[in-house]
Amino acid sequence: MAFPTSAPPLAATPEDASSRATVAVPLWVRAWRRFRANRLALLGLGYVVLLLGVALFADHLAPYSPVETFAGMRGRGPSVEHWLGFDHVGRDLLSRLIFGTRAALIVGLGATGIAVTVGVLVGSLSGYFGGWVDLLLSRLVDTLMAFPTLALLIMLAAVLGPSLLTTVTVIGLTSWAAYARVVRADVLSLRERDFVMAAYAGGAKSSHILWHHILPNVLGPVIVLGSLGVGSTIILESALSFLGLGIRPPAPSWGGILSDGRAYILTYPHIAIAPGVLIVLTVLAFNFIGDGLRDALDPRQRG
């Protein structure tokens, strides 16, 4: 009797097929699926994309110049020609809000980009090298976080003078400490992992290990924290402009328009209501995106 030389292949079980399908799907595709399942995150993303479009094409979307004054229209309410009415000096409020969107996103994204860059650099160096480098950079982070953020911003903005560039730079260089702490904690854990030790034993330089092995593994939490930080940055810019230390008038900004309407809240309430609603909606949108990214990039999630 002849015996088979090899056993027939086993039938694939549903679990094996599911496992192969999970491995075959790229990580970013699975992350997008999880993000897409969060309706609030999608809603926030759609709103932010709309704001980006408004900011990019503000010159074409604004019906009037943001600094043009209409005689005799001071504080007038909404009408067919002017949907949101006029501000306290007779400028079209809708046009000023449209151009203020550009300023808000420049500050929000620009300052957050600076903060993330500095925070990742400081946190990665502190966590990877340890010793006196970690001690020095950690004390720097602790010192920066010891100051009240708004008070530090007001002091620096008053010294440097109000402008868009000053606002972006000052907010970015005073809000990186939180990112540095998160990155440092992750790097302290990652530098003891086997793949990092193997790269080090293979003769890889510290710069190569940081750039190719450690930083890619800390980007997930940083992206989530950065998306949440954009909303906080917009609030800080609005606070500085509200106090007259942000973007220099007559250039429109949401905080500046809100400050203009403060003295007329009882007589011309629409001046303060419109920018206030925009600030709230924008901060909520970025928070929704941050929550969606946190769930999408969580390695414990599957599918």
User: Rounded mean pLDDT of 268-285?
Assistant: 94
Asked if pLDDT for residue 22 goes beyond 50, the answer is no
Around 118, how many Cα atoms within 13 Å sit in the side-chain half-sphere?
Answer: 19
Answer whether residue 7 shows pLDDT above 60.
Answer: no
Every domain of the chain and the residues it spans: 34-63+92-296
In terms of C-beta density within 10 A (0-12 exposed, 13-18 middle, 19 or more buried), how is residue 97 classed?
Answer: buried
pTM: 0.85
Q: What's the CA gap between 169 and 222, in Å, rounded?
A: 20
- Residue 300 confidence (pLDDT): 55
Residue range 192-242, pLDDT digits in tens: 888 888 888 888 888 888 888 888 888 888 999 999 899 999 999 998 988
What is the predicted pLDDT for the residue at 250?
Answer: 87
Top-tier CATH class for 34-63+92-296: mainly alpha
pLDDT digits (tens, 9 = 90+) for 114-158: 999 999 999 999 999 988 999 999 999 999 988 888 888 888 888
Cα–Cα dist 275/95, whole Å: 12
User: Which one has a higher pLDDT value, 194 or 59?
Assistant: 59
Res 166 pLDDT > 50: yes
- For residues 143 and 102, what is the distance between their CA atoms, to the nearest angstrom? 33
pLDDT tens, 61-83?
A: 999 999 999 988 999 999 999 99
